[in-house]
Structure 1
Amino acid sequence: MNKIKKDDTVEVISGKDKGKKSKVLRVILKENKVVVDNINVVKKHQKPTQQMREGGIIEQPKPIDISNVMLICPNCDQKARVGFKFLEDGSKARYCKKCGEVVDRS
Structure 2
Amino acid sequence: MADIVPFPRTPRPSDPEPLWRHLLGEQLRRRRHDRGETLTETADTAGVSPQYLSEVERGRKEPSSEMIAAIAGALDTSLIELTSAVADELRTTSVPASARASVFALAA
Q: Please indicate, yes or no, whether the TM-score normalized by the shorter chain is above 0.5.
A: no
Higher relative contact order (CA closer than 8 Å, sequence separation 6+): 2
Q: Which has the higher helix share?
A: 2
Q: Which has the higher strand share?
A: 1
Larger radius of gyration: 2
